Amino acid sequence: MAKVHQEVTFSAAPEQLYEALVNSAQHSKLTGAPAEIDAKVGGLWSAYGGKISGVNVELVAGTRIVQTWRAGNWPAGVHSIVRFELSADGKGTKLVLDHDALVEEHATHIDSGWKNMYWEPMHKFFSA
């Protein structure tokens, strides 16, 4: 199994990043695509119009999000695990992403996907 590890800093408070990742309306505004997020442990979530989905495993407001994660085109029953760790960093937030249990052939695509589909839009969203 493969893993993606990324560290990114944003000019927003940890609580703001957390809300952007777990609030359906904010997530949709951030990505420009439909999101449905039941922001409680055990709640289902989907983003990019259902192209990715999963279950919230652990939610610690402003600090940590752990979710099962799967792309809609993956075989049935195939899931990975995503962990977002948020910590204050000066006037902003350091976000550490660990995306585990990936099928090797998906790792490169997912690595660039986080940058293109999340980090770039988040930088724009929080600098607007």
35 vs 19: CA distance, rounded Å = 13
- Over residues 41-69, the mean pLDDT reads 98
* Residue 29 pLDDT: 95
* Residue 100 pLDDT: 97
Domains of the chain: 2-127 (3.30.530.20)
11 vs 37: CA distance, rounded Å = 24
Spatial CB neighbours of 83, under 8 Å, sequence gap ≥ 6: 64, 65, 66, 97, 98, 99, 100
18 vs 20: CA distance, rounded Å = 5
pLDDT band for position 92 (50/70/90)? very high
84 vs 7: CA distance, rounded Å = 10
- Over residues 103-109, the mean pLDDT reads 92
Per residue in 20-42, pLDDT (tens digit) is: 999 999 999 999 999 999 999 99
* Residue 88 pLDDT: 96
Q: Is residue 10 classed as helix, strand or coil in its secondary structure?
A: strand
Prediction pTM value: 0.95
- The share of the chain scoring above pLDDT 90, in percent, equals 97
